[in-house]
Structure 1
Amino acid sequence: MSAAVEKVQAQFPDEIVEIYEFRGDTTIIIKPEKIVEICTLLRDDRETSFRYLSSVAAVDYLPASPRFAVVYHLYSHRYKNRVALKAFLEDDAYPSIHSVVPVWSAANWHERECYDLMGIQFRGHPDLRRILTPAECEAYFPLRKEIPVRGL
């Protein structure tokens, strides 16, 4: 078991939904409410040292419910390992989660992209606005699965 899994299990046992490994990579599925606290733990703990946020991605699991998830890919240069945190968002109509920009400033544009293309609201984000599509594309999130692939 990795140090990341052990730390999250020890300090946030009620926040873990599932832990699995695929091709050597560990994913911890967590409840979204404590995302900032869990990310801070994994960044600051000397035994984990996940100082690098590789990416933040939003996933649309339509027709499943909960429909949306946000995935955080973390890397530790010190220990040369990685872990993914995945949080399923409760509200399918208005999915939201706390911003991790206070933990990793690199999350800023990643979260803006997730908002722009999937409509995920990042509560507490310092500048949550569109980054790729025109500002006038209100209520249009092109990577959501209800958007037709061929023509509009």
Structure 2
Amino acid sequence: MTTVSEEMRQLGQELSTQFAENFLGSREDRGELTVWVLPPAWRDAARYLRDAGYCHLSDLTAVDYLDRDPRFDLMAILASHERCDFIRLKTVLAEGQPVDSLVPIWTGSNWFEREIFDLFGIDFSEHPGLKRILLPADYQGHPLRKDYPVTGPAGSRFR
């Protein structure tokens, strides 16, 4: 079993101190660290990690936990090429709760955020052009939400 490096463990401690009021916790698993922060610290924690060497936004995604409050997890997977490791930054969002865009930190998060908006309905504050990226502009609903009808929107046909 791979363990988290002492350097990564120290970074987790720094985050817990730096963002104490908005720090929800951390977890070590398979040599990687996951850190949870509340939405007000999302962008600042991401910037802190970028400045600490995690300068590559590898992925940004969401998960819908329909029966949980807050309903959504938002997760950024960040890579450090110098250290050859990853760290996950997560936050939790209630239904309809916006979160700060990461575009000011990583311009590449633009399309990730548009995809999450399109498929989950999560709103990113200060995004430069938040609009659907996969589905038509007039499409009703967000198909990766757990309460989305399996048959699709009324009147549509799938082939």
Please report the TM-score for the alignment, with normalisation by the length of structure 1.
Answer: 0.90
Deviation, 1:29, is 0.9
Q: Distance in 1 between matches of 2:107 and 2:13?
A: 26
Residue 17 (structure 1) aligned with residue 24 (structure 2): yes
Q: How many residue pairs were aligned?
A: 146
CA RMSD in angstroms, aligned pairs only: 1.4
Deviation, 1:16, is 1.1
Deviation, 1:73, is 0.5
Match of 1:30 among 37, 54, 62: 37
Q: Distance in 1 between matches of 2:59 and 2:75?
A: 8
Provide closer, same or farther for how the CA distance between residues 24 and 150 of structure 1 changes in structure 2, counting only shifts above 3 A. Answer: farther
Partner of residue 141, structure 1:
142
Q: What stretches of structure 1 of length at least 5 have no aligned partner? A: none
Larger gyration radius, structure 1 or structure 2 = 2
Query: Percent of counterpart pairs with the same letter?
Result: 38
Once the two structures are superposed, what CA deviation does each residue of 1:7-34 show, in whole Å capped at 9, x if it has no partner? Answer: 2123112221121122222111110101
Determine if contact 1:58/1:68 at 8 Å carries over to the other structure.
yes
Deviation, 1:79, is 1.1
Determine if contact 1:97/1:121 at 8 Å carries over to the other structure.
yes
**What is the SS of the residue equivalent to 2:103?**
coil
Q: Distance in 2 between matches of 1:114 and 1:131?
A: 9
The 4+ residue runs of structure 1 with deviation greater than 4 A are none
Partner of residue 13, structure 2:
6
Deviation, 1:96, is 1.4
Provide closer, same or farther for how the CA distance between residues 33 and 112 of structure 1 changes in structure 2, counting only shifts above 3 A. Answer: same
Match of 2:49 among 38, 42, 48: 42
